[in-house]
């Protein structure tokens, strides 16, 4: 009798752990939306609202087009892609301040909300698996408006999504990847507790086993390591804080080391995730503009 009681308790405990793991994983893939509480007008920028479909046309994305200041023909189009559970504002930077600097330097900027973020449609955040299609939708929209020189600039999840997108679209000239992860499955196996606040075992294996089939995603395919091989020899600028506790700087370092003749790594001293711009906006802007100048000089733009 005691054995049966203990067995029942064990089964119930296991069921509770599994259900709890699923609930936590579901919450991570269905984060609450953050309001889009600012506009380019507050940064002295002209802009127009835009809406476009992700490539594959499963979601409608909402964003802004910011023209180059003082130019009828922009030097290039820069597509911004924000991080996990954020929106186009990427408030930790803030992205609008960087957009203003780029627009004033002659570049037009496209900013938008990923699916399930801001004002875009969708109910699922897949941490890159579907978001790469959103980046490609922004690329398609820019091309429909006549853009010929397109550079992707992404932050965290948006950085990895931009790498995946550029690998699928050879017309993208270059990528600026701020704090990407290199491979989603391997990253989550080590770092999921950063996001769940739960012990790695048993919750991480359970979440990684149960959630992908439930959400229709494949974390192994969110693979920036393979993507950068398909991007090469197009240039990539990797930016990462050496003290990043959410996505270690080793991810960018390993990706950049694959082709140092075309991939540039800038490690900063800031200790926060996607904190390099906020730590020194002038240095960050200078580095990005210098990279874009090199693209032009080398005929990538």
**155 - beta bridge partners?**
178
Q: Which domains occur in the chain, in start order? A: 1-30+188-217 (no CATH), 34-183+222-297 (3.40.50.1820)
Edge-first strand order for the sheet with 48-53 is 48-53, 60-66, 108-112, 77-81, 150-155, 174-178, 236-241, 263-268
Is the four-CA dihedral 196, 199, 203, 208 of positive or negative sign? positive
Q: What is the pLDDT of residues 103-153, one digit of tens each?
A: 999 999 999 999 999 999 999 999 999 999 999 999 999 999 999 999 999
Rounded to the nearest 10 degrees, the angle between the axes of helix 224-231 and helix 157-168 is: 40
Q: What is the pLDDT of residues 264-290, one digit of tens each?
A: 999 999 889 999 999 999 999 999 999
Q: Which of 6-20, 97-111, 189-203, 242-256 has the lowest mean pLDDT?
A: 6-20
Rounded to the nearest 10 degrees, the angle between the axes of helix 184-196 and helix 200-215 is: 120
**What are the DSSP calls for 249-277, one per residue?**
THHHHHHHTT-TTTEEEEEE---STT-HH
Q: What is the pLDDT of residues 19-77, one digit of tens each?
A: 888 899 999 999 999 999 999 999 999 999 999 999 999 999 999 999 999 998 999 99
Give residue 9's pLDDT band: very low, low, confident or very high (50, 70, 90).
confident
Do 244 and 159 touch, CB atoms closer than 8 A?
no
């Amino acid at each position: 009798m005691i054995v049966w009681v203990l067995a029942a308790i064990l089964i119930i405990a296991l069921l509770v752990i599994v259900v709890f793991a699923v609930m936590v994983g579901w919450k991570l893939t269905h984060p609450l939306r953050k309001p889009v509480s600012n506009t380019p007008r507050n940064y002295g920028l002209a802009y127009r609202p835009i809406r476009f479909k992700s490539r594959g046309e499963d979601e409608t994305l909402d964003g802004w087009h910011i023209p180059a200041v003082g130019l009828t023909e922009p030097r290039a189009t820069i597509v911004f892609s924000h991080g996990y559970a954020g929106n186009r504002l990427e408030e930790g930077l803030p992205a609008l301040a960087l957009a203003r600097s780029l627009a004033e330097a002659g570049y037009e900027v496209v900013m938008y909300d990923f699916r399930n973020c801001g004002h875009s449609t969708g109910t699922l955040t897949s941490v890159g698996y579907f978001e790469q299609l959103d980046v490609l939708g922004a690329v398609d929209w820019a091309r429909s408006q006549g853009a010929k020189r397109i550079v992707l600039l992404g932050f965290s999840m948006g950085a990895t999504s931009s790498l995946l997108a550029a690998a699928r679209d050879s017309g993208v000239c270059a990528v600026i990847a701020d704090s990407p992860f290199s491979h989603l499955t391997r990253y989550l196996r080590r770092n999921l507790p950063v996001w769940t606040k739960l012990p790695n075992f048993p919750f991480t294996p359970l979440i990684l086993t149960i959630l992908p089939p439930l959400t229709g995603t494949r974390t192994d395919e969110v693979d920036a390591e393979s993507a950068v091989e398909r991007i090469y020899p197009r240039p990539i600028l990797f930016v990462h804080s050496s003290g990043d506790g959410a996505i270690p700087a080793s991810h960018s370092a390993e990706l950049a080391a694959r082709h140092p003749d075309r991939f540039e790594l800038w490690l900063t001293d800031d200790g926060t995730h996607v904190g390099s711009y906020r730590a020194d906006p002038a240095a960050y802007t200078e580095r990005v503009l210098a990279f874009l100048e090199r693209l032009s000089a080398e005929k990538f733009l």
